[in-house]
Structure 1
Amino acid sequence: MNLILLDPSEVEGAYAYLTDARRITHLREVHRATAGNQLTVGLQGGAMGKAQLVELSDTQAIFSLESLNEAPPPPLPVHLVLALPRPRMLARTLEHVTALGVKSITLLHTKRVEKSYWQSPELRPEKIHQHLVLGLEQARDTHLPTVTLSKGFRPFLEEQLPTLLNGHRGLVAHPGMTQACPRDIQERTLLLVGPEGGFIPWEVEKLLEAGCEGMHLGPRILRVETAVTALLSRLF
């Protein structure tokens, strides 16, 4: 936890009051914090800065907010459309892409996505929020991404994709494409990444017909969480 992310509801005047067990345990066992220490904090949706730990017990941490005037790091200019991964991989992927600065995420159903994945507890709003917060804490960021669930490929193709492509360069990451992944681009981008096993040929065909460009990361077949991290790092 490189940043103590504060919910606005935890702030009263010049003080913040934390009562959740996870952050208190982290403060005690990892930071080994004691009263008087200065730590980096950030207000969700706002600025960051230093705060002094006034009190730390088994059930509560109180901070004096001294100066929250530091801007969070800039976001990546990308909307990530990700075929819904298996639940354990989803949790890690959400944390990784949030730490990298992705602010718009669409989780998409495709042919090779198991329908049972949509019943996973990991898709509950509170679980998604938890993973996003962990990503922000890791990267010292304060702005939560938005996550949209799109449970049908054809409705996404017909109803959402045209709007998402407006003002964006559409890139489909898929093995076997002729174009290599671009490097260090600056334009707003819609990045589409398939599931384990990739998109089926019909899905790739329809995405290309809609105006997306196909690209690859080389001859190696990577796990989704590895591929997404590699793509974002190479693109931006």
Structure 2
Amino acid sequence: MNVIVLEPSDFIGEGVVRLCDRRREHARKHLRAEPGDRLRVGLLDEGDEAPLPNLGHGEVLRCDREALELRVSLGERPPAASGIVLALALPRPPTLEKVLQQGTALGIKRFLLFHSRRVEPSYWDSSLLAAAALRRHMLLGLEQCVDTVLPRIEMHRGFAAFVEERLEQERARGVVVVADPEAAEMCPCGGEEGSLCLVLGPEGGFVPYERERFAGLGDRMVGLGPRILRVETAMVALVARLGGPPTVLWK
């Protein structure tokens, strides 16, 4: 935990918070916080507007087995968000946990979960898709990367409607890049300015019909070479390449 993410309900007075959950335990056991210490804190931002200057420090007033109390001073802005929208064929729950945490840490602010042929239908019934569970994993990502802006998640259970209608909104804003192990083109480093939507398929990849549908709509099919990677590993590698400085220009 590199930042303690606060919520409005944590405040007990003007500029003072009291924490009695895992954040208190982390500060007491791992940070060994004592009165007078200053800890990195940030107030959670769940809005869609420009990020607020919600980062700062908290002076420890109390830290014991019952509560952590901090006097909070904010005024710094969080790091810039990634320009990438991540569309992900719904993976196994343990994989989704990793993608949400790592994607959030990389600055992703919008996740689009969708169905495809090789997605197990039972995944849509997972308790992980409950709002509280999704939120918990994104908060872990924010704590890792010292950020305060909570990402948004959309869920789309129909493949055709998602690809033809929802992704059309992303095509209108910028480029849609589909990662596929069978793609002939290597994923470039960097890209053109503007919005970029990265589409990542299920374990086992897209079926031929799905590949043809993406290609027929003009989406860019790219790969990472001959190695078959886990979804969470491929996501990190692709976001790092696409979000980095351009060395191969889009044509």
Q: TM-score range by the shorter chain?
A: over 0.9
Alignment of 1:92-103 (within 5 A): 92-103=98-109
Q: Which runs of 5+ in 1 are unaligned?
A: none
Q: Is the aligned partner of 1:120 residue 2:126?
A: yes
Cα contact 2:10–2:18 (8 A) shared by 1: yes
- Worse-superposed segment, 153-162 or 84-93: 153-162
Secondary structure (helix, strand or coil) at the match of 2:178 reads strand
Give the one of 154, 172, 186 matched to 1:148: 154
C-alpha distance in structure 2 between counterparts of 1:198 and 1:59, whole Å: 49
TM-score of the pair, normalised by structure 1? 0.96
Alpha-carbon distance in 2 for matches of 1:190, 1:168:
8
Q: How is 1:64-143 mapped onto 2 (pairs within 5 angstroms)?
A: 64-66=71-73, 68-143=74-149
2:3 alignment partner AA? L
Separation of aligned partners in 2, 1:82 and 1:53: 41
Q: Distance in 2 between matches of 1:142 and 1:84?
A: 25
Q: 1-side partners of 2:218 and 2:131: how far apart?
A: 32
Which of the residues 209, 212, 217 maps onto 2:219?
Answer: 212
**SS in structure 2 at match of 1:166:** helix
Name the % identity: 41
- TM-aligned CA deviation for residue 184 of structure 1: 2.1
Aligned equivalents of 1:198 and 1:81: distance in 2? 14
What TM-score, normalized by structure 2, do the two folds share? 0.90
Structure 2 match to 1:33: 33
Per-residue deviation, 1:17: 1.9
Gaps of 5+ in 2: 46-51, 244-251
Other-structure match for 1:18:
19
Moved over 3 A (4+): none
Q: What is the CA-CA distance between 1:231 and the residue it aligns to?
A: 0.3
Q: CA RMSD in A?
A: 1.1
d(CA) in 2 for partners of 1:199, 1:9 = 44
Mapping for residues 1-12 of structure 1, pairs under 5 Å: 1-11=1-11, 12=13
User: How far off its partner does 1:211 sit?
Assistant: 2.2
- Mapped to 1, the partners of 2:172 and 2:44 lie a distance apart of 29
Q: Which residue of 1 aligns with 2:56?
A: 49
Kindly state the Cα deviation for residue 202 of structure 1 after the two structures are TM-superposed.
Answer: 0.7
Number of aligned residue pairs: 234
CA distance in 1, matches of 2:136, 2:181: 32
Q: What amino acid sits opposite 1:107 in the alignment?
A: L
The amino acid across from 1:175 in the alignment is P
| Structure 2 counterpart of 1:234, one-letter code | R
